[in-house]
Amino acid sequence: MVIKSSKSLVSEALDQIETINADQAFNKVNNDQCNLIDIRDIRELEREGRIDKSLHIPRGMLEFWLDPESPYFKEGKLDMKKEMVLFCAGGLRSALAAKTLKDMGFEKVSHIDGGFGKLKNSKFKIT
């Protein structure tokens, strides 16, 4: 049995998804063009803070909260017509999550290079 490494999975995901930087994400948020989704664990948010105007969807629940047929679907939480811009702490989990959303059929999906680490040193406000 051959197990793919997490590094390999992230590399494959990055080949298939759009990666944007913190400034591009800031512009999309300020122009009301996207849902900014923080997929970090709740403990990370409590420890590091939150990005203003972001929505928290834990990585483990992302597919379920965004699937209208799931009993966990969060009706009205997101604008399903807008781009889904994901971020995590450093950009690895969000790359995998963005690929999963593409696999689900979402067409407008991206993730932020460098994740929260880059966002906290950008124009975004930390709350």
Q: Starting at the edge strand that comes first in sequence, how are the strands of the sheet with 83-87 ordered?
A: 18-20, 109-112, 83-87, 34-38, 55-56
CA–CA separation, 85 and 87 (whole Å): 7
pLDDT of residue 14: 96
In a domain, residue 104? The reply is yes
In a domain, residue 3? The reply is no
pLDDT of residue 9: 96
**44-101 pLDDT, tens digit each:** 999 999 999 999 999 999 999 999 999 999 888 899 999 999 999 999 999 999 999 9
The position carrying tokens 């009706």 is: 75
Q: How many folded domains does the chain comprise?
A: 1
In a domain, residue 92? The reply is yes
In a domain, residue 69? The reply is yes
Confidence of residue 15 (pLDDT cuts 50, 70, 90): very high
Kindly report the CATH number assigned to the domain that includes residue 23.
3.40.250.10
In a domain, residue 1? The reply is no
In a domain, residue 124? The reply is no
Q: What Rg do the C-alpha atoms of the chain give, in angstroms?
A: 14
pTM of the predicted model as reported, rounded to 2 decimal places? 0.95
pLDDT of residue 85: 98
Structural domain harbouring 92? 16-119
